[in-house]
Amino acid sequence: MDNTADRKSIAPLLIFFIIVAGFCTLFKTWLNSKGINPAVLGFANILLFILSLAVLSLQKKAMKNPNPQVFIRSIMLGSFIKLIVIAVAVMLYLVIAGEKKSVYAVVASMFLYIVYTAIDVRLASKLNRKNGGS
């Protein structure tokens, strides 16, 4: 795949990342008033963006394999990896933050996980169609 196709494939991820990062920056006071720590939400956004890029790379590699099951497993593995990494990050945050934890930020981060996973699956579906999958 050439650089233009690579840029097009990560464009939805990049756009969503920028929107969430901008929202966390511009509406910091509003988020704090709602009990959502913008730093936690921003960290989750960065973590999910990096994980999504890694998963997309894994899926592109799996597309080169002639066995279609490899591609399906890469999608499932990517979602599982993201879920486990986010679960570990949430547990670490809850232990480290102690009394100052922001439960609403954790819930918002889980919403981000769902959106990033939906974008990943959509991109994987497009990838599959472009490469002759059904």
Q: Is residue 80 domain-resident?
A: yes
**Stretch 83-100: mean pLDDT, rounded?**
90
- Work out the pLDDT band at 1, boundaries 50, 70, 90: very low
Instruction: Tell whether the model's pLDDT for residue 133 goes beyond 70.
Output: no
Cα–Cα distance, 23 to 36 (Å, whole number): 12
Which of the four pLDDT bands, split at 50, 70 and 90, describes residue 14? very high
Residue reference for tokens 């939906």: 118
Residue range 100-113: average pLDDT? Answer: 92
**Exposed, middle or buried by CB within 10 Å (0-12, 13-18, 19+), for 28?**
middle
Rounded mean pLDDT of the chain?
A: 87
Range of the domain at 110: 3-128
Q: How far is CA 88 from the centre of its chain?
A: 15
In this structure, is residue 20 part of a structural domain?
yes
Domain assignment of residue 70, yes or no: yes
Report yes or no on 134 lying in a domain.
Answer: no
Residue 2 has pLDDT above 60, yes or no: no
Task: Give the pair of three-digit tokens for residue 58.
Answer: 């894994």
Q: What is the pTM of this model?
A: 0.86
> Considering its fold, how many domains does the chain have in total?
1
Amino acid, res. 118 = A
133 falls within a domain: no
Tell me if 20 sits within 8 A of 40, measured CB to CB: no
